[in-house]
Amino acid sequence: MKILIIEDEKELVKSMTQFLRQESYVCEVAYTESEAREKILLYDYDCILLDVSLPDGSGLKILETLRLNRKADGVIIITAKNSLEDRVTGLNLGADDYLAKPFYLPELVARVSAVIRRKRFDGNNTLSVHEISIDLLGKAVSVHGKHIELTRKEYDLLLFLVSNKNRVVSKNAIAEHISGDDAELLDKYDFIYSHIKNLKKKVAEAGGVDYIKTVYGLGYKFTT
């Protein structure tokens, strides 16, 4: 799957490509608007990560061009300006998602895979990892074909971990993903721990393998 990263910060681009490549994504990079325009004219991408502020112009202009040319590439806008207007403008121009800097790379991966899944949607709306299958439309999970009852947060947690399978995902990244702004209160309780514990228990009860490993001092890892 091909991803185009349009971003002028070279170090950030390096981290993003490095992280995304592990998930068998092919990453191409454009550091400027002109470079980006060249690339999107020549090739089709599954997902484009688009920085709004580029040295030679605005990323939103690229998005406009993309949509004018009826390109179906999924687009995630990345911006340092976490403002509502930017978000609304971006989404109105046809962006699929919006991510504010700074972000966790697992969050980026989760967003990218969600966009790609949506674009590649061909009657198959389930995501399967061994005996676990996740119904993305119905937001339901089954193990060995047996439905298990998960809370909204547990479902989000499982999907997030599966999207980042075989990667260490930090507790902070998980907290931010499933609780957003409320994450800043989570230090008070071992919130993530109890959700993970419940999730593991439910999967185990349905006869599933315990794929979620604790990485001491850091977070968790869904190992396949």
Partner 1 sequence: MRLLQVNLRSLLLCLLVLVAVSIPVSFFAIREILNEEVDESLALHSDQFVKHIKTFEYLEDLEMDLGIWDQLSYDITITPTLEPGNEHLYRNVSMFDSVEHELRPFRTLTTPVEIRNKHYLLTIRMSLVDNDQLVIVLASVQVVIVVLLALALLLLNRRLTERLWRPFYHTLNQLKAYELDKNESIEPATTKVVEFQDLNKAVSHLTDRNRKIYLQQKEFIENASHELQTPLAIFHSKLDILMQNPSINEEAANTIGELEDAAQRMTRLNKSLLLLSKIDNDQFADSVNVDLSLVAQRIVDNLRTLSDLGEIAISVKAQPVVVTANYSLMEILLTNLFHNAVRYTAQNGVVNVLLADRTLTISNIGAPLKMDTDRIFDRFTKEGVHANSTGLGLSIVKKICDYSGFKVSYLYAGNRHQFTVVF
- Which residues would be at the binding site for partner 1 (CB under 8 A)? 9, 11-12, 15-16, 18-19, 22, 80-84, 100-106, 151, 153, 167-168, 170-173, 176, 179-182, 184-191, 194, 215-219
Do residues 35 and 58 touch, judged by C-beta distance below 8 A?
A: no
| Beta carbon of residue 49, minimum distance to partner 1 (angstroms, whole number) | 12
Q: Which amino acid is at 75?
A: V
| Beta carbon of residue 115, minimum distance to partner 1 (angstroms, whole number) | 19
**CA 139, 144, 146: angle at the middle one, nearest 5?**
55
Alpha-carbon span 75 to 4, nearest angstrom: 9
Closer residue to partner 1, CB minimum distance, 66 or 195: 195
Residue 119 DSSP class: H
| Beta carbon of residue 170, minimum distance to partner 1 (angstroms, whole number) | 5
Best CA proximity match to 25, nearest among 54, 49, 52, 60? 49
Closer residue to partner 1, CB minimum distance, 72 or 88: 88
DSSP 50-98: EESEETTEEHHHHHHHHHHTT---EEEEEES---HHHHHHHHHTT-SEE
Q: Which amino acid is at 71?
A: K
| Beta carbon of residue 172, minimum distance to partner 1 (angstroms, whole number) | 5
Closer residue to partner 1, CB minimum distance, 204 or 215: 215
CA distances, 61 to each of 4, 51, 160 (Å): 16, 11, 31
| Beta carbon of residue 123, minimum distance to partner 1 (angstroms, whole number) | 34
Closer residue to partner 1, CB minimum distance, 185 or 204: 185
Closer residue to partner 1, CB minimum distance, 73 or 154: 154
Alpha-carbon span 91 to 196, nearest angstrom: 33
| Beta carbon of residue 44, minimum distance to partner 1 (angstroms, whole number) | 26
Closer residue to partner 1, CB minimum distance, 46 or 107: 107
Q: What are the structure tokens assigned to 62, written together?
A: 């690229």
